[in-house]
Structure 1
Amino acid sequence: MDNSWMRQNEVDISRYLPKFLLKDKRISCVLAADSAEHELQRLSLQDLQAQFYLSTATWGLSLWEEFVGLPIDRISDYKTRRTRVYSKINGNVIVTPDFLRQLINRYVADKTGQLTEHNEQYYFDVVLPDGKVLSFDELEAALRLYTPAHLGWKYIAQTNAAGGFYVGGIISCAWQITIPADTTYNLEIAGAGEPVIVGCVSSGTETYIPADLFK
């Protein structure tokens, strides 16, 4: 929608008149009132033009819904209602993977939904970003309307997370020191060595106490 043909700036009639006239309070008040009314008309015309385009229609969505044969929905948000009308308008298109992918993304807030085909098994995966689906019920209804009867589908919720993995550890080091014996060392004893008696003697007393069998 392009309304460049219409005035874009706020209406101010006084800019077309000599400035000295604004010194008169009566003239100044009349110009301000006329400018405000012209501004309302300008905004009303822009709003009216927006209703002629489905992508910008708001209060005119009820007319679009009536035009394509949908029940008038005054509860859902504008984006959901526009998507429903788009789906109805495109009812005669050829269903291709690209069309289904676009259809899926009409119900995804950030348009990142994906479609993965499994032609040999006659089904496809509907990969949806977690938390970004506008309406599962609307998406389900749209897929049932446009998906060929011989195909099925499976929903896959996908969550993307950004982060890193850090792995750390402690390495302990040890040094092995070997001190070799000095085999060149000689121990000389002058004269005959005296014998050294080393021993350990333990002593004890054995006490025998007979049992008194008749007591």
Structure 2
Amino acid sequence: MITSKKGREMLLTLSPIYEQSLVMNSIYEAIGSEFDNLELLNEEIELQLFPQSATWGLSFWENRVGLTTNIDEDIEIRRRKVIAKLQSKYIMTPKRMSMILQSYTGANIKINENISPYTFGVELTSTQGFPRDLEDLYKRVNVIKPSHLAVSYKLVSLLKSKTYFAQTAIMSEEITVYPYTSKEVKASVKAKFALANNISSETLTVYPR
């Protein structure tokens, strides 16, 4: 029984009498396995052609754009650095800077111009937090920003969680009736409280004549 996908395909092109031949099955199993491995290798090489999907080929991209390879660093961070480096070769505008920094950090970036004389602001918003060390980000901004401008940073970290609030309203009322003129005294209170559990108490004092 041939397990190779390519081997089975090739064997089907032959006369059916060879399907029961152990020799032919062994030959096409060996040949088919080589073609299977070649197909996988082609797919793997295609991934290395783009920094967004490169794995072992990422070091070639880093060398091309002048970055130092650090295999201990998270591969997604390394990919972002390469992409940011490639994007920084064009004329720098707030929109392009935002795109570069977003590729670099994965955060939402907003560039605020002229927050003070010769200063622009970089606002980073993330739902996944930020790494402790943002030194690489600061260096990248210093490389791509106009040299005569200063920069100010604002980091916004959004936390997604469920928060529950409880509220209780307590109301009391005291009624005093005198002189006594009726055999029956009724008191009625109607209260509405939005989003609250209300607890009410009432004290009724009736003095006889």
How many Å apart are 1:158 and its aligned residue? 1.8
Partner of 2:140: 142
CA RMSD of aligned residues (A): 2.9
CA–CA distance in structure 2, aligned partners of residues 114 and 169 of structure 1:
42
Q: Secondary structure at the match of 2:121?
A: strand
1:65 and 2:59 correspond:
no
Partner of 2:108: 113
CA–CA distance in structure 1, aligned partners of residues 43 and 64 of structure 2:
22
* Higher strand fraction (1 or 2): 2
Decide whether aligned partners of structure 1 residues 127 and 54 sit closer, same or farther in structure 2, where only a CA change above 3 A counts: closer
Matches within 5 A, 1:172-183: 172-174=171-173, 176=175, 178-181=177-180
1:38 and 2:35 correspond:
yes
Partner of 1:160: 159
CA–CA distance in structure 2, aligned partners of residues 132 and 167 of structure 1:
29
1:79 and 2:92 correspond:
no
Partner of 1:93: 90
Give the fraction of aligned pairs with identical amino acids, expressed as a percent. Answer: 18
Decide whether aligned partners of structure 1 residues 74 and 171 sit closer, same or farther in structure 2, where only a CA change above 3 A counts: closer
Decide whether aligned partners of structure 1 residues 70 and 156 sit closer, same or farther in structure 2, where only a CA change above 3 A counts: closer
CA–CA distance in structure 1, aligned partners of residues 146 and 122 of structure 2:
14
Aligned length: 171
Q: 4+ residue stretches of structure 1 with deviation over 4 A?
A: none
Unaligned runs of 5+ in 2: 182-209
How many Å apart are 1:179 and its aligned residue? 4.3
How many Å apart are 1:175 and its aligned residue? 5.6
CA–CA distance in structure 1, aligned partners of residues 40 and 74 of structure 2:
22
Range with greater deviation from structure 2 (16-25 or 53-62): 16-25
Decide whether aligned partners of structure 1 residues 19 and 174 sit closer, same or farther in structure 2, where only a CA change above 3 A counts: farther
